[in-house]
């Protein structure tokens, strides 16, 4: 059996160990390019992502030393990303693959605030294109923390939309809720069907049964603009 010369074997071992380190040293360059891979209809500008990741030409960040996990955490902490994953593409490209949160409703009594189905609040402009979304009005005295607790109830209302077809929710007004009221205060729902608008007034404590009653009435309402379901003996339509 022919033996490999010792110096060749030693050289091969040296290069197998040293090459990755030498390659890293040679390829250690500042990040000069962001490759964005959006998985949402709305897209975020590269300048904004670069700012959130503290990347700038004035203070270069080397790709080799960039912390991918920390970068992803910074993006998630902005509040608008559902998911953010970062990858290195040698020698100088940082790849950012992301999914934005999906606005489900607008919080009408807070400026520029949206919410998704999970109850996460986040800014809408300038990150999301304008959309027709239901507007939720919370009690005026509510702090944002309290509104987060009240949101599941608003969601329960919005999820009843399929039972009201072809009408859809344009707004849910919770501003008249009153814990001291016998029926918990008044709800005002705004429905739309094309250019038509319809206001529905009902008591908080009876909303489930009265909404079922209202769904049965919908085909008979004609051109009515308001339906008052607060009286137990009759329905007011005007």
Predicted confidence pLDDT, tens digits, the chain (238 residues): 444 343 333 333 333 444 444 344 445 689 999 999 999 999 999 999 999 999 998 889 999 999 999 999 999 999 999 999 999 998 999 999 999 999 999 999 888 999 998 889 999 999 999 999 999 998 775 566 656 666 778 888 888 888 888 899 999 998 888 777 777 789 999 999 999 999 999 998 888 888 888 888 888 888 889 999 998 778 898 8
DSSP class of 91: T
Give the model's pLDDT for residue 142: 57
Alpha-carbon distance of 134 to 168, in angstroms, equals: 9
Give the model's pLDDT for residue 184: 79
DSSP class of 168: E
Alpha-carbon distance of 19 to 34, in angstroms, equals: 27
Domains identified in the chain and CATH numbers? 26-100 (3.10.20.310), 105-237 (3.40.50.11690)
End-to-end CA distance of the chain: 103
Give the model's pLDDT for residue 232: 76
- DSSP E strands in the chain: the ranges are 33-38, 81-89, 93-100, 105-107, 113-115, 121-123, 135-137, 168-173, 186-193, 196-203, 226-228, 236-237
Q: Rounded to an integer, what is the distance from CA 204 to the centroid of its chain? A: 28
Q: Rounded to an integer, what is the distance from CA 67 to the centroid of its chain? A: 25
Residue at token pair 């022919």? 2
Sequence-distant (6+) residues with CB within 8 A of 166 are: 193
Alpha-carbon distance of 159 to 140, in angstroms, equals: 24
pTM of this prediction?
0.77
Q: How many CB atoms lie within 10 A of CB 204?
A: 17
> In terms of C-beta density within 10 A (0-12 exposed, 13-18 middle, 19 or more buried), how is residue 57 classed?
exposed
Give the model's pLDDT for residue 58: 87
- DSSP E strands in 54-185: the ranges are 81-89, 93-100, 105-107, 113-115, 121-123, 135-137, 168-173
DSSP class of 177: B
Q: Is the sign of the CA dihedral 37, 38, 43, 47 positive or negative?
A: negative
């Amino acid at each position: 059996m022919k033996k490999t010369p010792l110096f060749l074997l030693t050289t091969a071992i040296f290069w197998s160990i040293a090459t990755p380190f030498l390659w890293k040293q040679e390829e250690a360059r500042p990040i000069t390019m962001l490759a964005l891979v959006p998985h949402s209809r709305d897209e975020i500008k590269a300048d904004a992502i670069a700012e959130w990741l503290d990347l700038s030409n004035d203070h270069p960040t080397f790709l080799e030393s960039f912390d991918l996990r920390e970068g992803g955490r910074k993006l998630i902490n902005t509040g608008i990303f559902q998911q953010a994953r970062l990858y290195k593409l040698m020698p100088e490209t940082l790849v950012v693959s992301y999914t934005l949160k999906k606005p489900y409703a607008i919080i009408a009594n807070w400026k520029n605030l949206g919410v998704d189905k999970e109850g996460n609040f986040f800014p809408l402009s300038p990150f999301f294109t304008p959309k027709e979304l239901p507007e939720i009005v919370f009690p005026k005295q509510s702090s944002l923390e309290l509104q987060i607790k009240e949101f599941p109830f608003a969601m329960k209302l919005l999820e009843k939309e399929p039972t009201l077809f072809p009408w859809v929710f344009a707004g849910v007004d919770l501003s008249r809720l009153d814990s001291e009221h016998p029926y918990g205060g008044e709800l005002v729902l705004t429905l739309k069907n094309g250019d038509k608008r319809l206001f529905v007034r009902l008591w908080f404590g009876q909303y489930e049964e009265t909404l079922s009653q209202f769904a049965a009435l919908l085909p008979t309402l004609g051109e009515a603009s308001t339906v008052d379901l607060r009286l137990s003996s009759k329905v007011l339509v005007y």
